[in-house]
């Protein structure tokens, strides 16, 4: 199956009543490990990068790897831009193979959020690219230099107006998840998810899937969540596996001997994330 447009995966998720697991890839080898586990579980996946990631490594490395690996795997997968805050970041993604992009204006006043989101929709839709917007404030750190200023739940009334005025294709909502590590077990606002879905009729997106209990995620999927982002859990497991290898094999500089143990640990987390995205335990 070749690299496919995000819209194709979104239609599959709507028809099957499941969420697409979307994985941030800070380094290209994550792509291979995610696709291998997706293939094993027969699950479509979204590979995504945020500007903070593609600015550290040329975005063409990620897109090139996806094109090459599309010859190897049978599951459909798509390439998405996560957490762009500026139109220039979106333009870079549009030039480099992303079939869906997120413009995050949630830090802005409502009217400014609407304006920048509309600008991105005007750029993306003529190219057949989907746009994900965000309303509300998902707390925690996103991997950039901004401070954690807490969270603020998405207003159903505001979401309805935002959807109408921007024509976004997906809406990221603040309903109890957080970026990064949790200091307590999150409890999702399930009634809020249901009302936002009812008012907007949009596929909803949860950021901060790492650390959220599987049963909570699956309840959210039943209520209309169609994409769940995972990043922290994979990065934390990767770094811990790296530390363990270095401690157990001091002085060993043969990276090829380290990669299998890193892959095993990351793929365990990927498997848990995929299963958590399926409302009815499809795997």
Per the annotation, the verdict on 119 as an active-site residue is no
Q: How many CB atoms lie within 10 A of CB 198?
A: 12
In whole angstroms, what is the distance from residue 223 CA to residue 190 CA?
7
Q: Could you tell me if 223 and 191 are in contact, meaning their C-beta atoms sit under 8 angstroms apart?
A: no
In whole angstroms, what is the distance from residue 124 CA to residue 114 CA?
15
Longest dimension (CA), the chain: 59
Q: Are strands 20-24 and 130-135 parallel, antiparallel or unpaired?
A: unpaired
In whole angstroms, what is the distance from residue 283 CA to residue 277 CA?
10
In whole angstroms, what is the distance from residue 184 CA to residue 186 CA?
6
Three-class secondary structure of residue 203 per DSSP: coil
Structure tokens at 132: 């994900």
Q: Could you tell me if 186 and 210 are in contact, meaning their C-beta atoms sit under 8 angstroms apart?
A: no
Structure tokens at 37: 């586990």
Per residue in 225-244, is it b (16+ CB within 10 Å) or e — as a string? bbbbbbbbbbbbbbeebeee
Q: Which of 187, 189, 227, 185 is nearest to 207 (CA)?
A: 227
Q: Which of 170, 158, 88 is nearest to 125 (CA)?
A: 170
Per annotation, catalytic residue among 82, 104, 151, 169 = 82
Return the active site residues: 82
């Amino acid at each position: 199956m070749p690299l496919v447009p995000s819209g194709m995966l979104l239609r599959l998720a709507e028809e099957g009543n499941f969420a697409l697991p979307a994985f941030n890839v800070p380094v290209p080898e994550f792509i291979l490990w995610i696709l291998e586990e997706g293939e094993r579980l027969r699950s479509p996946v979204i590979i995504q990068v945020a500007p903070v990631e593609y600015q550290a490594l040329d975005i063409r490395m990620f897109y090139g790897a996806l094109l090459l690996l599309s010859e190897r795997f049978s599951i459909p997968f798509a390439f998405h831009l996560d957490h762009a805050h500026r139109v220039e970041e979106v333009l870079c993604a549009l030039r480099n193979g992303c079939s869906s992009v997120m413009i995050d204006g949630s830090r802005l006043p409502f009217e400014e959020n609407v304006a920048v989101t509309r600008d991105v929709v005007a750029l993306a839709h003529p190219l057949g690219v989907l746009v994900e917007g965000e309303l509300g404030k998902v707390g925690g750190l996103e991997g950039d230099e901004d401070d954690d200023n807490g969270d603020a739940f998405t207003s159903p009334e505001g979401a309805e107006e935002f959807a109408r005025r921007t024509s976004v294709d997906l809406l990221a909502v603040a309903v109890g998840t957080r970026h990064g590590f949790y200091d307590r077990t999150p409890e999702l606002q399930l009634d809020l998810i249901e009302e936002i879905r009812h008012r907007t009729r949009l596929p909803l997106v949860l950021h901060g899937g790492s650390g959220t209990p599987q049963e909570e995620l699956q309840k959210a999927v039943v209520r209309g969540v169609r994409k769940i982002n995972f990043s922290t859990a994979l990065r934390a497991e990767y770094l811990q596996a790296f530390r363990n290898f270095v401690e157990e094999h001091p002085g060993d500089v043969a990276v090829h001997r380290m990669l299998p143990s890193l892959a095993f640990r990351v793929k365990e987390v990927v498997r848990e994330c995929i299963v958590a995205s399926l409302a009815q335990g499809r795997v």
